[in-house]
């Protein structure tokens, strides 16, 4: 069961998925989005594949799980949590020795364990991240990294929420996050729920506020972090980080270790999803489409922020500082270990 994030903030609707193909479609179409949320959705996609399988043998179910995993993996390329969650289930399903029904039950309980662990991990990151936030801070936040982007609580927005719950007075400048407006639609909607004060700004305004000294911290999540600490995140993160760096404002990426991909040495090896240009072109003004008919657009959904612009990465295991090559391998075993065993 997913909140349909395409409908927010106009309406809060839930969709029920019955097959792994529907789960893959929900990820591709961004019914669900945000790196941890799509990872866990993929895990439940495998649970659906296992439950729907009519195979009488564990080997037959496993074969169907492998097919389902390939379909789910192909849904979106950048967030590594998708691969991480699928591997977390396949790694246990491959050597499974019980009956077919036991395997079905195991896949379901494993997906649920990953979902439960996600909430706990987010809250741990929230506590570490809140330590970096001072009373009275104004924080620029990019994209949506709240409860909607995870199973619950969230990553960077979870840290801001934790600081708020600790009684710190925080104010958020919410990057609207063109072209899909995750900031204006989703982050603002969440901040309303938590009664955290905010102002929405267009992405291009961030440099102005940073330059004026109005901002004390920049915080965002990540879809994938390379071994050297380069961060792939929602398009616009790089320009925001550059402006923060130039103005000596600390930049924090709040990331679960499931978003760290030790198999890519640097950000340049991270695949960047290019989405349909219509997402850029179909802005309406007074009911009319802004761009001329037949206009062309580019639409990379993510960019890479080089590690030199990142002050620290906040993980569930603690805050890690440069040089990230060393500190990340201590924060994360980088051996495919997943919570819940
Ligand atoms: O395209 P989206 O909306 O799935 O992109 C999401 C982001 O870039 C988030 O900032 C990222 O997943 C980290 S949030 C938990």
Mean pLDDT (the chain) is 95
Query: pLDDT by residue (tens digit) across 201-243?
Result: 999 999 999 999 999 999 999 999 999 999 999 999 999 999 9
- Statement: residue 89 has pLDDT above 50: yes
Q: What is the pLDDT of residues 246-262, one digit of tens each?
A: 999 999 999 999 999 99
User: Closest by alpha carbon to 309, among 266, 224, 251?
Assistant: 251
Q: Which residues of 213-248 are buried (b: 16+ CB within 10 A; e: fewer)?
A: eebbbbbbbbbbbbbbbbbbbbbbbbbbbbbbbeee
Give dist(CA 205, CA 207) in Å, integer.
6
Region label for 200, one of left (φ > 0), alpha (ψ between -120 and 50) or beta (otherwise) = beta
Cα 37 to ligand 1 centre (Å): 9
286 pLDDT above the threshold of 90: no
Asked if residue 137 lies in contact with residue 170, where contact means CB atoms within 8 angstroms, the answer is yes
**Range scoring the smallest mean pLDDT among 137-151, 191-205, 239-253, 326-340:** 326-340
Residue 336 scores a pLDDT above 80: no
The best mutation among 37, 80, 81, 143 to test binding of ligand 1, ranked by most ligand atoms within 8 Å of the C-beta, falls on: 143
Per the CB < 8 A criterion, the answer to whether 332 and 262 are in contact is: yes
Nearest residue to 28 via CA among 275, 282, 271:
275
| Mean pLDDT, residues 192-197 | 98
Burial of residue 188, with CB atoms counted within 10 A of its CB: 0-12 exposed, 13-18 middle, 19 or more buried: buried
Question: Which residue puts its alpha carbon closest to atom 6 of ligand 1?
Answer: 34
Residue 230 near residue 304 (C-beta atoms within 8 A)? yes
Average pLDDT rounded to a whole number, residues 98-115 = 98
Which one is catalytic: 175, 223, 261, 303? 223
Q: What is each CA distance from 338 to 48, 121, 214, 238, in whole angstroms? A: 21, 11, 40, 29
Sheet holding 302-305, edge to edge: 260-261, 224-226, 231-234, 302-305
Ligand 1 neighbour 149 (Cβ under 6 A): yes
Cα-to-centroid distance, 166 and ligand 1 (Å): 25
Pair type for strands 171-175 and 198-201: parallel
Cα 161–167–171 angle (5° rounding)? 55
pLDDT digits (tens, 9 = 90+) for 6-19: 999 999 999 999 99
Q: State in Å: Cα 201 to ligand 1 middle.
A: 18
Predicted confidence band at 287 (pLDDT cuts at 50, 70, 90)? confident
33 lines ligand 1 (CB under 6 A): yes
- Work out the average pLDDT over 257-284: 95
CA of 148 to the centre of ligand 1 (A): 10
State how beta strands 14-15 and 217-220 pair: unpaired
- Residue 295: pLDDT over 70: yes
Distance 326 CA to ligand 1 centre (A): 25
pLDDT at 15: 98
Rounded distance between C-alpha atoms, residue 259 and residue 78, angstroms: 10
Determine if ligand 1 sits within 6 Å of the CB of residue 35.
yes
> Are the CB atoms for 142 and 234 separated by under 8 Å?
yes
For residue 243 and ligand 1, the question of a CB distance below 6 A is answered with: no
Task: Write down the pLDDT at residue 341.
Answer: 35
Instruction: State yes or no: is 203 an active-site residue.
Output: no
Mean pLDDT, range 186-198, rounded to an integer: 98
Q: Which atom of ligand 1 is nearest to the CA of 234?
A: 8
Residue 339's pLDDT band (cuts 50, 70, 90): very low
- Report whether residue 5 contacts ligand 1, using a CB cutoff of 6 Å: no
Q: What is the pLDDT of residue 332?
A: 64
Interval 44-60 mean pLDDT: 98
Residue 36, ligand 1, Cβ within 6 A: yes
Q: Are strands 302-305 and 14-15 parallel, antiparallel or unpaired?
A: unpaired
Give the residue, out of 184, 234, 314, with the most ligand 1 atoms within 8 A of its beta carbon, to mutate for a pocket test: 234
Q: Residue 334: pLDDT above 70?
A: no
Residue 301 reports pLDDT greater than 70: yes
Burial of 192 (0-12, 13-18, 19+ CB in 10 A): exposed
Per-residue confidence band for 275, with pLDDT thresholds at 50, 70 and 90? very high
Residue of 2, 3, 33 with the most ligand 1 atoms within 8 Å of its CB, for mutation: 33
Query: How is residue 297 written in tokens?
Result: 């657009």
58 within 8 A of 100, measured Cβ to Cβ? yes
% of the chain residues with pLDDT over 70: 97
């Amino acid at each position: 069961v997913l909140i349909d994030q395409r409908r927010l903030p106009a309406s809060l609707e839930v969709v029920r998925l019955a097959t792994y193909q529907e789960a893959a479609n929900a990820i591709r179409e961004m019914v669900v989005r945000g790196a941890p949320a799509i990872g866990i959705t993929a895990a439940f996609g495998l649970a659906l594949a296992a439950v729907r399988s009519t195979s009488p043998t564990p080997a037959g179910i496993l074969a169907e799980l492998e097919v389902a995993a390939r379909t789910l993996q192909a849904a979106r390329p950048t967030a590594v949590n998708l691969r991480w969650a699928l591997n977390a289930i396949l790694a246990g399903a491959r050597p499974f020795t019980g009956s077919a029904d036991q395997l079905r039950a195991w896949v379901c309980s494993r997906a649920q364990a990953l979902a439960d662990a996600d909430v706990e991990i987010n809250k741990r990151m929230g506590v570490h991240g809140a330590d970096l936030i001072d009373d009275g801070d104004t924080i620029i936040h990019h994209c949506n990294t709240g409860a909607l982007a995870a199973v619950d609580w969230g990553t960077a927005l979870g840290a801001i929420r934790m600081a708020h719950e600790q009684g710190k007075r925080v104010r958020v400048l919410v990057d609207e996050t063109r072209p899909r407006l995750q900031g204006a639609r989703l982050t603002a909607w969440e901040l309303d729920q938590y009664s955290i004060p905010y102002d929405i700004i267009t992405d291009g305004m961030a440099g102005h506020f940073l330059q004026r000294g109005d901002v004390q911290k920049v915080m965002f999540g990540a879809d994938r972090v390379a071994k050297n600490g380069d961060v792939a995140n929602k398009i616009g993160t790089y320009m925001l980080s550059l402006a923060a760096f130039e103005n000596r404002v600390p930049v924090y990426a709040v990331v679960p270790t499931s978003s760290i991909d030790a198999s890519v040495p640097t950000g340049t090896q991270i695949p960047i999803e290019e989405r349909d240009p219509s997402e850029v072109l179909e802005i309406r003004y007074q009911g009319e489409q802004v761009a001329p008919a037949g206009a062309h657009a580019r639409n990379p959904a993510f960019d890479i922020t080089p590690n030199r612009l990142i002050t620290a990465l906040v993980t569930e295991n603690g805050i890690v500082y440069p040089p990230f090559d060393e500190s990340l391998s201590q924060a994360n075993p980088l051996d495919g270990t997943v919570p819940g065993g």
